[in-house]
Amino acid sequence: MAEIKTIEFKDNILYLIDQRKLPRDYEIFECKDFRDVDFAIHDMVVRGAPAIGATAAYGVVLAAKEFLGLEKPRFFEEMEKALEKLNQSRPTAVNLMWAIGKMRTLIEENKELETREIYEKIKEEADNIYNEDIETNKTMAKHGNEIIKQGDNILTHCNTGALATVAYGTALGVIREAHYTGKDIFVYADETRPRLQGGKLTAWELVQEGIPGKLIADSVAATLIRDGKVDLILTGADRVANNGDSANKIGTFMLSVVAKAYDVPFYIVAPTTTIDFEMESGDGIKIEERSSEELTHIDGIRTAPEGMEVYNPAFDVTPHENITGIITEKGIVRPPYKENIRKLK
Ligand code: MRU
């Protein structure tokens, strides 16, 4: 098993694998304060819903460290500003808001303590979020592995691996587990335009692990599905609503439509930290729009003509009726989602 340390916190510095550079270069990005963390999330040095949540938690630790010498009212004021800044670093993955919400509550509940003690509590909470994510992913992978059959061809989208989480991964975690348990699986990895998380990051993880697979252009998926070459589809999610509607990387919805048309099982793999229990349906999920450069340029080189306008949503919502099941650390949730998701709370 190759160890990928996506996130590491040591001596009040947060070390991140710079995912903007992979697979060409393996570089570590250092965050020395919460502003660096805000930048790292926004600029996608680190990405993937659970990884964003854990990173933001350490951003709060860095803020507390920076402000612990202030008088208490100022400390709380500055902490609130830092929490808000981090909370807005990306809009779609609810793991971010979940982690920030946890930290905010912790600060609220410990107002009577000295700032250093609050800092220590925050650090402990960030470590818990970090460690629990690893455990959650491993448990989720075991549940997911129950539906994988010997020799299955699995199609996946975006990167949902160790790079998208603290370790192991969500959908790619299930794939890892199936591979480790000798299931002789084969993976089709969607390239995932425009940022190529599949082509760059999933492909990198598959090669590191020696998991057999092929990289495909996104537009190949429908043909493979029609031709019976895909036994099931596994993707992650950035936010799951109460009714099962799930936001994930742009292109996931299209995959789900084709899967339904050809009766291929379509599963979301997501920890319960990705469920937004406040969100009734996918209609309310804010979809991030990213810069036009992601489409007009490839690796800094302009490929579209000057003057061409761009529409670049980073996510879409897969309606619950297209989802066969949602694999969580608490088991596999199946329809009716409204009823069954509530039980996970
Ligand atoms: O824009 P990204 O790269 O952060 O998008 C990531 C995804 O869409 C993943 O599928 C999702 O976060 C779940 S992965 C653990």
pLDDT band at residue 2 using 50, 70 and 90 as cut-offs: low
Q: What is the mean pLDDT of the chain?
A: 97
What are the pLDDT digits (tens) for 84-96?
999 999 999 999 9
Phi-psi category of 331—alpha, beta or left, where left has phi over 0 and alpha has psi -120 to 50?
A: left
* Cβ(237) – ligand 1 distance below 6 Å: yes
What are the pLDDT digits (tens) for 310-331?
999 999 999 999 999 999 999 9
pLDDT at residue number 3: 79
pLDDT at residue number 140: 98
> Burial, 263: exposed, middle or buried (Cβ in 10 Å; 0-12, 13-18, 19+)?
exposed
1 pLDDT more than 80: no
Place of tokens 């650090």: 123
For residues 190-214, give the mean pLDDT.
98
316 is catalytic: no
What are the pLDDT digits (tens) for 55-66?
999 999 999 999
278 pLDDT more than 80: yes
- Pairing type for strands 266-269 and 325-328 reads parallel
Three-state secondary structure call for residue 278: coil
Q: Cα–Cα–Cα angle for 254, 87, 190, nearest 5°?
A: 25
CA nearest to 78, candidates 65, 91, 88, 63: 63
219 pLDDT more than 70: yes
Q: Catalytic pick from 18, 133, 152, 238?
A: 238
Distance 96 CA to ligand 1 centre (A): 12
Q: Ligand 1: which residue has its CA nearest to atom 8?
A: 249
161 pLDDT more than 80: yes
Count CA atoms within 13 Å of residue 27 on its CB side: 10
The answer to whether 227 touches 155, Cβ cutoff 8 Å, is no
Q: Where are the beta strands (DSSP E) in the chain?
A: 7-10, 13-17, 28-31, 153-156, 186-190, 213-216, 232-235, 239-240, 246-249, 266-269, 297-298, 301-302, 315-318, 325-328, 331-333
Q: Percent of the chain at pLDDT above 90?
A: 98
> Burial, 105: exposed, middle or buried (Cβ in 10 Å; 0-12, 13-18, 19+)?
exposed
* Cβ(31) – ligand 1 distance below 6 Å: no
What are the pLDDT digits (tens) for 93-137?
999 999 999 999 999 999 999 999 999 999 999 999 999 999 999
16 pLDDT more than 80: yes
> Burial, 25: exposed, middle or buried (Cβ in 10 Å; 0-12, 13-18, 19+)?
exposed
* Cβ(247) – ligand 1 distance below 6 Å: no
Distance in angstroms (rounded) separating the CA atoms of residues 244 and 281: 7
Q: Percent of the chain at pLDDT above 70?
A: 99
The answer to whether 135 touches 166, Cβ cutoff 8 Å, is no
Distance in angstroms (rounded) separating the CA atoms of residues 163 and 329: 19
